[in-house]
């Protein structure tokens, strides 16, 4: 069948769904995009309040223009623009602060970072070698072993320096939102080394929501149809092949691409999936969640575009009172997000993904505020408004029960060959987004998946059997 004879329904307009819909439209498929929210973007959306444009998440994009999100935009002819996040990015352990440039894997930058975080005398060279290896892209032949190794075990081969370990554990939390006991070394290296090579850490102009918005606009300009406020309740299967979806009425389709996540998609299919597959899919773990405090400020209080701060290991009192915080200041790379002279600070911290843990969510939010007030005295005097969001907020926006940050965890037991195949075991049914089909940091994994899965669907439609390399 030629693409224009295949009717495709894409469920969900997160970055993965919106990107895939636009790429498929570009390839000539007839595509309908159904979104339960009244807006596109899923976890990557932005809202406006009193002249401040803020994100639902706490976002920075690892490779901006040079990564998969930039690539999709070029292919579909979107109007997405990027601002580099540079000039003063920091990582800090208590009052030990290291600034790093965009090309953070150059020898001088590594030495200055190692010095800044205060590794023990005598450990500098081992830490240098480890950092250099982590920041170097590996051939596919090495990745299979690395994928199945926890990042901590990888670092242990080089050094036991406590500050170096703490810094990498926190960086693992920032990039793949897992501890380094769980996070896959292969997945971490892929993210870290690609960023080091591209030196293109960026923020989408106009807010994180600009990404899905640009893809959807391009999609519509190619004749694609988007329906908001249209949740899909079920996927219709006949004789082992999809024939459409149930969304307050039947929408026929030859191909269904779900951006709703593996486990919700399994539920939407129901009894037609093999029991063994359902059990396996249900057993997979999600990444951690995050809570965030969004500060709209009437003055520029924080002078750094992006900081990852952790309490000092040697200060138990600080560890009790404060929490590790990741806080980009999107209005530094993109001043148009805020009224003249103002500032937007998004401060996030990681915790188990589960909206039912209300008390824990509240405690971590309190600690974020205590940490920000300690690090930036006076911040509270300049608040125009402040928004505290828990894992329930992310769950509501993404339609996923747990409100996890990324999607399925990049745990060493479920990446590479152990990641779900985007082809589900029902003819014509595919997954797209952070759960399957890509590598990278959150938004970029969803984008990488959109690139790979759209090619896979095209190959399948033309009867070309090309395996997927992720």
Ligand X SMILES: Cc1cc2nc3c(=O)[nH]c(=O)nc-3n(C[C@H](O)[C@H](O)[C@H](O)COP(=O)(O)OP(=O)(O)OC[C@H]3O[C@@H](n4cnc5c(N)ncnc54)[C@H](O)[C@@H]3O)c2cc1C
Question: Residue 119 or residue 294: which is nearer to ligand X going by CB?
Answer: 294
CB atoms within 10 A of CB 125: 12
How near is the Cβ of 440 to ligand X at its closest, in Å? 8
Question: Residue 118 or residue 289: which is nearer to ligand X going by CB?
Answer: 289
Rounded distance, CA 72 to CA 11, Å?
19
- The three-state DSSP-derived secondary structure of 74-116 is HHHCCCCCEEECCCCCEEEECCEEEECCCCCCCHHHHHHHHHH
Q: Which residues bind ligand X (CB under 6 A)?
A: 11-17, 34-37, 42-44, 57-61, 231-232, 259-260, 264, 290, 292, 348, 394, 398-399, 405-407, 433-434, 441-444, 446
Question: Residue 406 or residue 426: which is nearer to ligand X going by CB?
Answer: 406
How near is the Cβ of 160 to ligand X at its closest, in Å? 29
Residue 316 burial (10 A CB sphere; 0-12, 13-18, 19+): exposed
Question: Residue 118 or residue 244: which is nearer to ligand X going by CB?
Answer: 244
How near is the Cβ of 33 to ligand X at its closest, in Å? 9
E strand map for 213-266: 225-227, 234-238, 241-246, 250-252, 255-258
How near is the Cβ of 116 to ligand X at its closest, in Å? 22
Question: Residue 128 or residue 326: which is nearer to ligand X going by CB?
Answer: 326
How near is the Cβ of 274 to ligand X at its closest, in Å? 22
Greatest CA separation for the chain? 68
HSE-CB at 18 with a 13 A cutoff on CA atoms is 28
Question: Residue 67 or residue 118: which is nearer to ligand X going by CB?
Answer: 67
Question: Residue 22 or residue 130: which is nearer to ligand X going by CB?
Answer: 22
Antiparallel, parallel or unpaired: β 90-93 and 306-310: parallel
Question: Residue 37 or residue 361: which is nearer to ligand X going by CB?
Answer: 37
Strand partners, 41: 14
CB 70 within 8 A of CB 82: yes
Give the residue among 152, 186, 101, 91 at the shortest CA–CA distance from 440: 186
Q: What are phi and psi of 193, to 5 degrees?
A: -70, -35
CB atoms within 10 A of CB 157: 11
How near is the Cβ of 267 to ligand X at its closest, in Å? 9
How near is the Cβ of 370 to ligand X at its closest, in Å? 19
How near is the Cβ of 128 to ligand X at its closest, in Å? 27
In the three-class reduction of DSSP (H, G, I as helix; E, B as strand; rest coil), residue 44 is classed as coil
């Amino acid at each position: 069948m030629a693409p224009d004879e295949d009717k495709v329904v894409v469920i969900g307009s997160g970055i993965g769904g919106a990107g895939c819909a636009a790429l498929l439209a570009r390839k000539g498929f007839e595509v309908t995009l159904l979104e339960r929210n009244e807006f596109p973007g899923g976890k990557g959306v932005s809202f406006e309040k009193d002249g401040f444009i803020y994100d639902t998440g706490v976002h920075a994009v690892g490779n901006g223009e040079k990564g998969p999100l930039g690539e999709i935009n070029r292919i579909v002819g979107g109007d997405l623009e990027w601002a580099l996040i540079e000039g003063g990015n920091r990582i800090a352990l208590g009052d030990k602060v290291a600034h790093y440039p965009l090309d953070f894997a150059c020898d001088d930058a590594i030495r200055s970072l190692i010095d800044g975080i205060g590794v023990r005398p005598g450990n500098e060279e081992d830490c240098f070698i480890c950092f250099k290896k982590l920041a170097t892209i590996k051939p596919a032949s090495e990745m299979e072993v690395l994928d199945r190794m926890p990042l901590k075990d990888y670092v242990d081969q080089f050094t036991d320096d406590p500050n170096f370990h703490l810094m990498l554990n926190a960086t693992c939390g920032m990039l793949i939102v897992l501890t380094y006991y769980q996070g896959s070394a292969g997945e971490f290296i892929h993210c870290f080394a690609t960023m080091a090579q591209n030196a293109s850490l960026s923020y989408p102009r106009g807010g994180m929501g600009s990404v899905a918005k640009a893809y959807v606009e391009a999609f519509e300009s190619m004749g694609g149809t988007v329906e908001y406020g249209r949740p899909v309740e079920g996927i219709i299967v006949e004789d082992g092949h999809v024939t459409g979806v149930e969304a307050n009425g039947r929408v026929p389709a030859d191909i269904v691409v779900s951006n709703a996540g593996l486990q919700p998609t399994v539920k939407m299919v129901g009894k037609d999936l093999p029991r063994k597959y359902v059990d396996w899919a249900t057993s997979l773990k999600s990444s951690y969640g995050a809570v965030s405090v969004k500060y709209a400020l009437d003055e520029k209080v924080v002078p750094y575009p992006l900081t990852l701060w952790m309490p000092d290991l040697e200060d138990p009192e600080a560890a009790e009172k404060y929490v590790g915080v990741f806080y980009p200041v999107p209005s530094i790379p993109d001043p148009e997000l805020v009224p003249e002279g103002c500032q937007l600070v998004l401060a996030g911290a990681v915790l188990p993904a589960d909206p039912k843990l209300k008390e824990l969510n509240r405690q971590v939010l309190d600690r974020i505020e205590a940490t920000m007030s300690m690090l930036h005295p006076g911040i509270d005097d300049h608040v125009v408004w402040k928004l505290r969001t828990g894992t329930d907020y992310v769950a509501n926006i993404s339609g996923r029960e747990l409100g996890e940050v990324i999607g399925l965890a990049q745990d060493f037991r479920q990446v590479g060959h152990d990641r779900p195949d985007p082809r589900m075991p029902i003819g014509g049914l595919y997954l797209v987004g952070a759960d399957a089909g890509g590598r990278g940091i959150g938004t970029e994994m969803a984008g990488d998946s959109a690139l790979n899965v759209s090619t896979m669907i095209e190959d399948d439609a033309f009867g070309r059997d090309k395996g997927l390399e992720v």
